[in-house]
Amino acid sequence: MAWLQATIDADSSVAERFADALMDAGALSTAIEDAFAGTDQEEPIFGEPGEPVDRLWSRSRIITLFDEAADVALLIAAAANECRLPLPTWRVEKVAEQDWVRLTQSQFEPIRISDRLWITPTWHEAPAPEAINLQLDPGLAFGTGSHPTTRLCLQWLDAGIKGGESVLDYGCGSGILAIAALKLGAGSALGVDIDPQAVRSSLDNAEQNHVTASFCLPDENPAQEYDVVLANILANPLRMLGQLLASHVKTGGRIVLSGILAEQATELSAIYAQWFDMDPPVFDEGWTRLTGTRRANV
């Protein structure tokens, strides 16, 4: 089976409305991207995952997929008429049937975190068999190691885990940080996430990596202290969770925070300085890792 893909340039003020109208007219899917993506005029628009971005690009491109038998011209005209817009220009190309599983897998190669730590999808041979290899496939839960925030946390674990530590991964996603901590020598690891799917995925990933880790929802999180607490989430939750996270860190223990944009580092560091002696931030592709050492309660 093949499909027809139409590419339509549209003013951003109407792009979302037009994309919805295309779906109503019979499109199988629509996506909106920067019309100047990949050029010097590309516009970076930042927003935290899960939160709305208050604007689109100045010029947007709608990518629309239709059934091979569809009358694309008629459907685009119907969508334009519904939105009371002039008929746009577009181009159409045929998208051939492919082995989508194999194509998707080809986009995920092993990721080198350090000389001794790699993330390797299950369908790949380990490029460095003598290294510590985390077997992790893309799934519904966030965290495959490719994002700078996850990479920053993994790099800290690689250098910071000395052996035997208790670790709490708050907002565990795929469980990658808790699993990595155990494979690097931590004595125990608990992952917490608000998403039941993440908890299930984390348990599956731990079993796949032959480690014993615990994962639970926040209401099931025991009130205990840990040597290391990691939270690779978002700036807004980190603002609200400071006291809670601090309560889980032993005196002299370490906190590792990520999911923070570079411009948010100073504010977040100041918040956590209430409980921790904070280290200088570390940056990677516009994202930040903050770390600190827990002071004694006063």
d(CA 248, CA 295): 12
Backbone phi and psi for residue 6, each to the nearest 5 degrees, phi listed first: -105, 135
Regions in the chain scoring below 50 on pLDDT: 46-54, 100-101, 103, 140-142
Pick the closest to residue 154 from 49, 230, 53 (CA basis). Answer: 230
What domains can be seen in the chain, in order of their start residue?
A: 3-97 (3.30.70.260), 107-294 (3.40.50.150)
d(CA 125, CA 119): 11
- Concatenated DSSP letters of 7-24: EEEEEHHHHHHHHHHHHH
Task: Say what the pTM is.
Answer: 0.68
Pick the closest to residue 11 from 51, 45, 56 (CA basis). Answer: 56
pLDDT digits (tens, 9 = 90+) for 139-175: 544 455 668 899 999 999 999 999 999 999 999 988 9
pLDDT digits (tens, 9 = 90+) for 8-53: 988 888 889 999 999 999 999 998 888 877 677 766 654 444 444 4
Q: Two tokens at 218?
A: 């926040």
Residues 6+ apart with CB under 8 A from 193: 141, 171, 172, 173, 199, 202, 215, 217, 218
